[in-house]
Each structure stands twice: as structure tokens, then as C-alpha cells.
């Protein structure tokens, strides 16, 4: 991935987990601010909850044999309806959680939006000026094979550090952030 | 007293328990669905992802399931 500040073409990779110049806006975005990167967890992180959801989907086929000997027909139907509704909610919660737990890199700031259990929102932000060091960490066979890892943005002073976990192509993302930091530094120096 | 113990031991008691359990569970599920709808709205205010209303539709579908559960528990069980 190469960054060209004049290139405003929108594109995405890995099922929208890495979007370049995405057409999104966020709370607190200034008029001059342009979203350059939108980061989500790599799609491989879907695997655990897809397995659980598949098991939840299949479980009634096995359990119904026993349930019919314990409950009446209409009660078993009720249990099944409720079970599949819960399965649907489980999938929906996981999709929403993935969609809205994002990292945003703009031409001015680096922002990390985290939702824990959907209800607790945590937003960490740092200006490119305050970002001191950006590091990508890829560990293990699966991370290396599928090109995803964690990104740590160290900030100056007491400002909270920013971390993006399980991001696709972490070295490319670090390269983009470094380029932006450099551009920002150059602009400041020329003033 | 005998009547009371007779009622306790009757097979209807399990049915009443299941019906009550179903209604309460369904109502809690409806509450959860309303929280989800509200939360999706709040999340979309934080970051506008242009999903063309798909998430809201899914959340409303979920609310539909919850209403079906409560109605089923009230009418059929």
C-alpha cells in the first residue's frame, strides 16, 4: 500500500477490515479532517464466533430428541424459537462489535474507538504531532501467514497510548502512519 | 391442604411454570432488543458507516422475534 495525499480513491481489503480513504465520518470530525485509514480486526477473528454460532444452530437437532420426551410439542417449539432468536442475536452482536470497534487514521489524528460488551464506549485519540513512535507486532504462525498483528502508537507525555489489535497488514499501516507523521512534521517546519 | 398438595403435584404446575418463564424471558429479550436498537443508533452517531439501514433492519427483525416469543408464551403455551 502506498500513500499519496492527492489520491482520494476509496478502496478496501480483507472484507472492509482495512479501508483506505473510506467514505465514513465520525463524531468530532473537523471540517479539514480527512479519514485516510479505517481499521478493523482481521476477518480471521470471526472464526471463533462462527464456530460457536454453527454449534448453536446445530444443537437443537440433537437436543430435540431428548426434549420431546421431557416436554410437550408446543413447549419444544417455544424452546426452539427462543434458542434460534438467541443465536441470531449472538451473531448480530458479534457483527456490530466488529463493525464499530475501529481504528481511524486521519490527516490530523489517530483515533481508537472501542466498545466493550456493546455498552461501554472508550475513545482514545492523539494528534499526529503527539504520536512519538508507531510499532507493529506480528507474532505466531497464523498472524504471520495471514498478515495481521497489533499496532502500538506511543504518544508523548501523559496522553494515553493507542493500540489497534489484530489489524490486517500492520507493517503497511505503520508505514502509512509514519508517512503522515513525516508530512505533518514537514508542514510544521515549513511554517 | 390436600387441595394445595394436589395442585403442587399436578402436571399443570410445570406448564404454568414454563408459561411464566417464557413470558418473563420474552420480556427481558424485548428489553434487550430495545437497548440494541438504541445502541446501534448511538454507535452510528459515533461513526457513520453507511450501511443503508441494514443494521437497523436486523435489530428490528430481532425485536420481531422477541415479540413472537412473548405472544407465543402468552397464547400457545
Task: Supply the CATH number for residue A167's domain.
Answer: 2.30.29
Domain presence at residue A137: yes
Q: Looking at the structure, do residues A119 and A37 belong to the same domain, yes or no? A: yes
Rounded-to-integer distance, Cα A98 and Cα A95, Å:
5
- So what's the pLDDT on residue A112? 94
Q: Which long-range contacts (CB under 8 A, 24 or more apart) does B12-17 make?
A: B15/A72, B15/A75, B15/B77
Domain presence at residue A185: yes
Domain presence at residue A1: no
Lowest-confidence segment of A29-33, A60-64, B12-16 by average pLDDT: B12-16
Percent pLDDT > 70 in chain A is 96
Rounded-to-integer distance, Cα A13 and Cα A164, Å:
17
Domain presence at residue B53: yes
Domain presence at residue A166: yes
Domain presence at residue A25: yes
Higher-pLDDT residue of A177 and A1 is A177
Task: Answer yes or no: do A88 and B62 touch at CB < 8 A.
Answer: yes
Beta-carbon contacts of B60 under 8 Å, excluding residues fewer than 6 positions away, are: B37
Which residue from A minimizes the CA distance to B65? A85
- So what's the pLDDT on residue B4? 63
- Checking if the pLDDT of A113 tops 70, the result is yes
Higher-pLDDT residue of A180 and A10 is A180
ipTM: 0.86
Q: Looking at the structure, do residues A121 and A179 belong to the same domain, yes or no? A: yes
Domain presence at residue B9: no
For residue A27, the chain B residues in CB contact (below 8 A) are 45-47
Task: Give the mean pLDDT of A21-43.
Answer: 92
Q: Looking at the structure, do residues A15 and A90 belong to the same domain, yes or no? A: no
Task: Answer yes or no: do A96 and B48 touch at CB < 8 A.
Answer: no
Beta-carbon contacts of B44 under 8 Å, excluding residues fewer than 6 positions away, are: B51, B55
For residue B32, the chain A residues in CB contact (below 8 A) are 89
By residue range, what is the domain housing residue A132?
A: 11-41+101-190
* Helices (H), ranges, B1-77: 2-9, 12-46, 54-75
Task: Give the mean pLDDT of A109-130.
Answer: 90
Q: Looking at the structure, do residues A174 and A136 belong to the same domain, yes or no? A: yes
- So what's the pLDDT on residue A1? 55
Domain presence at residue B3: no
- Checking if the pLDDT of A146 tops 60, the result is yes
Q: Looking at the structure, do residues A90 and A181 belong to the same domain, yes or no? A: no
For residue B20, the chain A residues in CB contact (below 8 A) are none
Domain presence at residue B39: yes
- Checking if the pLDDT of A99 tops 80, the result is yes
Local confidence band at A118 (pLDDT 50, 70, 90 cut-offs) = confident
Local confidence band at A29 (pLDDT 50, 70, 90 cut-offs) = very high
Domain presence at residue B6: no
Grid coordinates representing A167 are: 489489524
Q: Looking at the structure, do residues A146 and A61 belong to the same domain, yes or no? A: no
Grid coordinates representing A111 are: 483515533
Domain presence at residue A35: yes
Q: Looking at the structure, do residues A144 and A116 belong to the same domain, yes or no? A: yes
- So what's the pLDDT on residue A38? 94
- Checking if the pLDDT of A158 tops 80, the result is no
By residue range, what is the domain housing residue B37?
A: 14-75
Rounded-to-integer distance, Cα A91 and Cα B18, Å:
26
Q: Looking at the structure, do residues A84 and A147 belong to the same domain, yes or no? A: no
Number of domains in chain B: 1
Of A62, A96, A130, the residue at which a domain comes to its end is: A96
pTM reported for the whole predicted model: 0.89
Q: How far is A23 from chain B (nearest CA, A)?
A: 8
Helix (H) or strand (E) holding A109: strand A109-116
Q: Is A23 on the interface with B (CB under 8 A)?
A: yes
Beta-carbon contacts of B59 under 8 Å, excluding residues fewer than 6 positions away, are: A92, B33, B36, B37, B40
Domain presence at residue A5: no
Task: Give the mean pLDDT of A134-160.
Answer: 89
- So what's the pLDDT on residue A179? 92
Which residue from B minimizes the CA distance to A26? B47
- So what's the pLDDT on residue A111? 95
Task: Answer yes or no: do B77 and A78 touch at CB < 8 A.
Answer: yes
* Helices (H), ranges, chain A: 47-70, 73-100, 141-146, 170-190
Q: Looking at the structure, do residues A35 and A122 belong to the same domain, yes or no? A: yes
Number of domains in chain A: 2
- So what's the pLDDT on residue A160? 79
Domain presence at residue B68: yes
Of A23, A74, A118, the CB nearest to B77: A74
Domain presence at residue A2: no
For residue A96, the chain B residues in CB contact (below 8 A) are 36, 39-40, 43, 55
Q: Looking at the structure, do residues A20 and A110 belong to the same domain, yes or no? A: yes
Local confidence band at A189 (pLDDT 50, 70, 90 cut-offs) = confident
Chain A (91-110) residues lying within 8 Å, Cβ to Cβ, of chain B: 92-93, 96, 99-100, 102, 104
Task: Give the mean pLDDT of A71-97.
Answer: 94
Q: Mean pLDDT for each 10-residue chunk of chain B (77 residues)? A: 63 82 94 95 90 92 95 91
- So what's the pLDDT on residue A70? 87
Q: How far is A154 from chain B (nearest CA, A)?
A: 24
Amino acid at each position: 500500500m502506498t500513500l499519496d495525499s492527492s489520491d482520494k480513491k476509496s478502496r478496501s481489503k480483507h472484507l472492509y477490515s482495512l479501508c483506505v480513504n473510506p467514505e465514513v465520518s465520525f463524531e468530532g470530525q473537523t471540517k479539514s479532517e480527512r479519514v485516510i485509514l479505517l481499521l478493523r480486526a482481521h476477518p480471521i477473528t470471526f472464526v471463533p464466533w462462527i464456530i460457536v454460532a454453527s454449534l448453536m444452530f446445530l444443537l437443537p437437532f440433537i437436543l430435540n430428541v431428548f426434549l420431546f420426551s421431557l416436554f410437550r410439542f408446543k413447549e419444544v417449539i417455544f424452546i426452539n424459537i427462543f434458542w434460534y432468536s438467541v443465536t441470531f442475536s449472538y451473531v448480530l452482536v458479534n457483527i456490530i462489535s466488529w463493525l464499530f470497534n475501529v481504528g481511524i487514521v486521519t490527516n490530523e489524528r489517530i483515533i481508537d474507538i472501542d466498545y466493550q460488551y456493546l455498552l461501554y464506549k472508550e475513545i482514545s485519540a492523539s494528534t499526529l504531532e503527539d504520536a512519538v513512535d508507531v510499532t507493529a507486532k506480528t507474532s505466531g504462525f497464523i498472524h504471520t501467514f495471514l498478515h495481521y498483528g497489533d499496532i502500538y502508537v506511543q504518544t508523548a507525555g501523559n496522553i494515553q497510548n493507542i493500540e489497534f489489535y489484530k489489524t490486517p497488514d500492520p507493517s503497511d499501516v505503520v508505514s502509512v502512519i509514519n508517512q503522515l507523521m513525516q508530512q505533518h512534521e514537514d508542514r510544521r517546519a515549513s511554517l | 391442604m390436600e387441595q394445595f398438595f394436589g395442585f403442587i403435584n399436578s402436571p399443570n404446575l410445570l406448564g404454568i411454570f414454563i408459561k411464566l418463564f417464557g413470558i418473563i424471558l420474552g420480556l427481558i429479550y424485548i428489553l434487550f432488543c430495545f437497548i440494541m436498537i438504541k445502541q446501534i443508533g448511538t454507535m452510528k452517531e459515533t461513526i457513520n458507516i453507511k450501511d443503508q439501514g441494514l443494521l437497523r433492519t436486523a435489530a428490528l427483525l430481532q425485536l420481531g422475534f422477541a415479540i413472537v416469543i412473548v405472544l407465543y408464551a402468552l397464547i400457545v403455551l
